[in-house]
Amino acid sequence: MRPENAGSGGRADSELLTSAWNGLSSWLPAGSGLEWAALLSRAADDALVSVRHGQQGDWAALLKILPTADAPCWGIEDGRVAVEAPGLSDSDRSRVADALMRLRPWRKGPFQIAGTFIDSEWRSDWKWDRIAGCTDWRHRRVLDVGCGNGYFGWRMLAAGAESVLGLEPFLLYVVQHAAVRRLADPAAPHAVVPLTDGCLQTCPGIFDPVVSMGVLYHRTGPVDHLLLLRNALKPGGVLILETLIIDDPEPRVLVPQDRYARMRNVWFIPSVPMLTRWLQRTGFRDVEVVDITPTTVQEQRSTDWMTFESLADCLSPHDPSRTVEGWPAPLRAVVRAVRPPTGSPREML
């Protein structure tokens, strides 16, 4: 583990992030995979320029003071992504802890980094337990859409995945991933790029599985989102989809009039029969509901690492089965579906 000194800014600042995705060509298959990797890298580089955040320079400075791992030094301990960071002095560990705290809020986790426990808003380890059995992760090239800071990608790698590509448009979460990767394994085949699912329009079907968690209900066009996910899947590949649902045996969908659980950007919350219909209409088969779980204030809550409003502030104080707006409280489903093999009738859609 090599402690780092802050250097000059400019291009070097950007390279702290771009180094993760500039190596994509070594993870993706020859031919169309490499062509798409080049397009993706350019789009991600452009996104860093176009979405310039007021704190981007501060975040780059924090990344530069973090030590760099000489060899992989991470694993999974009690659901935490644990980074050992060997050889650091107490003062180095204190600087790491301070830098990580200044990258708040941490939504996904937990992490244990150089002795510092990052108690994230979400107990993402609970969600991992729900999706872990959906596929055999060994030797798989995984796409994680809406990945946040990449917590689930580390779990996928630990389960045997060959590589993980995450899409996350919110730059802070891209920076959080860069910080963890720098400390854990700078050569890890795990990148988070600052892009949305729109980049999948030109993606050849090279991933299996494709994972989308907590994204569908934020899309104004949920069917378009499913089509993009299908496009990225290998024929015969598995989609793992996690989303809000409503408890209704009929094919119905909730469209909140304004906000849902204080969120403005929630558009469509389907019942399981409606979600199944969407998946079938977009060319998936073998749709299977793996899990349905209400979100609780034990799983999603405010912590020292995420001090803003969380689920408890979004539920009715008089009836926790309803949101503050009066809608049904969050209920989430994990659904598994398959893109049919090449040449099958459903693949002809």
Whether the per-residue pLDDT at 138 is higher than 70: the answer is yes
Per-residue pLDDT at 6 exceeds 80: no
163-167/141-145 β-pairing: parallel
Which pTM value belongs to this model?
A: 0.94
Element (H, E) at 131: helix 124-131
DSSP 8-50: --THHHHHHHHHHHTTGGGTSPTTHHHHHHHHHHHHHHHHHHH
The string of pLDDT tens digits covering residues 310-344 is 999 999 999 999 999 999 999 999 999 999 997 66
Position 348 pLDDT exceeds 60: no
Q: How many CB atoms lie within 10 A of CB 31?
A: 10
Mean per-residue pLDDT over the chain, rounded: 93
Cα separation of 235 and 208, whole Å? 9
Measured CA to CA, the distance from residue 342 to residue 248 in angstroms comes to: 34
What are the tens digits of pLDDT across the range 155-197? 999 999 999 999 999 999 999 999 999 999 999 999 999 999 9
Contact between residue 271 and residue 248 where contact means Cβ atoms under 8 Å apart: yes
